[in-house]
Structure 1
Amino acid sequence: MSARTTVVIATRDRARELDRTLTELSAVDPRPPVVVLDNASRDDTAAVAGKHDQVRVIRLPHNLGAAARNLGVLVAGTPYVAFSDDDSWWAPDALREAERIFDDHPRVGLLAARTLVGPECREDPVTPALAHSPLGTPEGGPGPLVLGFLACSAIVRRAAYLEAGGFSPLLHFGAEEQLLAYDLAARGWDMCYAGQLRAHHHPSRSRPPSSWRRRAERRNRLLIAVLRRPWREVVRTALGAPSAVPSALPKLARAWHGRRVLPDRVEQQARTLEGTAS
């Protein structure tokens, strides 16, 4: 039986971690094709990835951030695409089970998996929030509706992803999943948590400081508010994180030109998750 899911990995300067991830993915049944997007690495990432079977390496001249994944989805020849980071991989049975769920639920555009961190397999803090989503479970659905996910443990229907436009190059990295979740929901696709799907994440030691990540996420949440939320939410976001305003300023014009306010249904879901629904 041939795989119907391609694994897409965007990476930069983490050859050792990527080597382990690709080795772990070789245990997935059936073995999936993998597309590695090398975000202008300065180490031997491309050479290491190229040693593995069923891996296509695309070397990018510039670091495109999360949006590099879009190219991987475009070249994938399968109806479903699973994302991994260079320090995460899928349990051997996860992709086969995800394919079954997608086949049975044609309106599901994304499945968020259970994320297990480190060798002790502790749950990522995001996992319980997804599992206990207040948005409920659609009738006959595979799990609770969600309006967010972790990219390292998400599987998408390729057609839905392309329809939604993929990850935004405006955001680069940090909270990029939120905008894609909004855009999938705005187009009528369901996103569901499926706890039987497992992804393993062994966070790399080679990563920016957590303070850098927090700044990027605050900036991007403000940009996402400008892109998709009512103005009252833009103001609320800016007031809640005033330090994000200066770093967002250089990108605000592009965000304004890309502004498409969410449908009322999706905005209400967003406010429910934020605890501000009326």
Structure 2
Amino acid sequence: MISVVIPTCDRSTNFLYKAVTSALTQTLKPIEVIVVDNGIRDADSAALPEGVKRFRLPPRIGASRARNFGAAMAQGSHVAFLDDDDWWDADFLREAWAVLQAEGTRCVYGRKDVLRHEVPQPYKCPSPQGMTIPRILRRNPGTGGQNLLIEKALFFSIGGFDEALKMSEDKALALEVLLAGERISVAPRAIVVLRHHDGERLRNTPFHKLGFLWKYRNLYGPLGGLRAIVRITHKTLRSLFLLFSIRH
């Protein structure tokens, strides 16, 4: 029924093990857990319990390509994605699947919590009202590569994750689902916990968002595109200022 795909790239053993075991110990058992390794170093075997399927890809090919490869290898009718530095609550798949079945949809996003001072705290919970094209164009309502459950046939019919995008590939996938005429469900009780740490996260380079803006320039229109560029530039300059202040 559900295959789980976890891309990993030079992640610490403890983080990866936590992610993998959270998938293996779901109250609604997945039929398989697939780890797609695209790091410079091989993932530590200690982080991969027995039964996990591991595929080795060339180093640093990117999370989107790794996710797409994992989905292509998946045997389930549905695919759930999890990042290698986050973990699911034990009922994530059960809650997400229940909403998918109750609402008759093919794609559902769960809730994001964040680990602060070793305690998970609410971070982002998508709402049905936020899952519209205009709102997703303006900001990320809570889509991600760690809180998504989607029918495999739908995933590939819209092209999977856009491998050309360096950032916002999660928003792009949600947009493509909507542009295909599908509804997106929200499962507020399907919880993923995100870590804040010193490792690399894709969302930390604001100018990479320009690729998303260019891809959907026709949806933004001239004025909307200009406003988006201004927001991105402002965030980038603010980040550079904070970085400069810390170093000096």
Pair in the same fold by TM > 0.5: yes
CA distance in 1, matches of 2:202, 2:86: 19
CA distance in 1, matches of 2:218, 2:34: 30
* Amino acid paired to 2:215: I
CA distance in 1, matches of 2:201, 2:85: 14
2:57 equivalent among 56, 60, 63: 60
227 and 180 in structure 1: CA distance in 2 versus 1, 3 angstrom threshold: farther
CA distance in 1, matches of 2:160, 2:232: 26
Structure 1 residue aligned with 2:77: 79
The offset of 1:102, in angstroms, is 2.2
182 and 92 in structure 1: CA distance in 2 versus 1, 3 angstrom threshold: same
Residues 196-227 of structure 1: CA deviation (Å, up to 9, x unaligned): 211122334322597x42232x3233233337
5+ long unaligned stretches in structure 1: 137-145, 245-278
* Amino acid paired to 1:183: E
Does the Cα contact within 8 Å between 2:99 and 2:187 map onto a contact in 1? no
* Amino acid paired to 2:36: L
Structure 2 residue aligned with 1:213: 205
2:112 aligned counterpart, secondary structure: strand
CA distance in 2, matches of 1:208, 1:199: 16
Question: What is the TM-score of this pair, normalised by structure 1?
Answer: 0.70
Residues 219-252 of structure 1: CA deviation (Å, up to 9, x unaligned): 23323333754344334433544599xxxxxxxx
The farther-off stretch of 69-78 and 235-244 is 235-244
1:114 equivalent among 90, 106, 111: 111
1:133 equivalent among 96, 119, 129: 129
Structure 1 residue aligned with 2:145: 151
Count of residues in correspondence between the two structures: 223
1:184 aligned counterpart, secondary structure: helix
CA distance in 2, matches of 1:191, 1:58: 30
5+ long unaligned stretches in structure 2: 133-139, 236-248
Matched residues, percent identical?
24
The farther-off stretch of 223-232 and 188-197 is 223-232
* TM alignment of 1:1-278, pairs within 5 A: 4-16=1-13, 17-32=15-30, 33-39=32-38, 41-45=39-43, 47-49=45-47, 51-67=48-64, 68-106=66-104, 108-118=105-115, 119-124=118-123, 126-127=124-125, 130-131=126-127, 133=129, 149-172=143-166, 174-207=167-200, 212-216=204-208, 218-226=209-217, 228-241=219-232
Does the Cα contact within 8 Å between 1:176 and 1:220 map onto a contact in 2? no
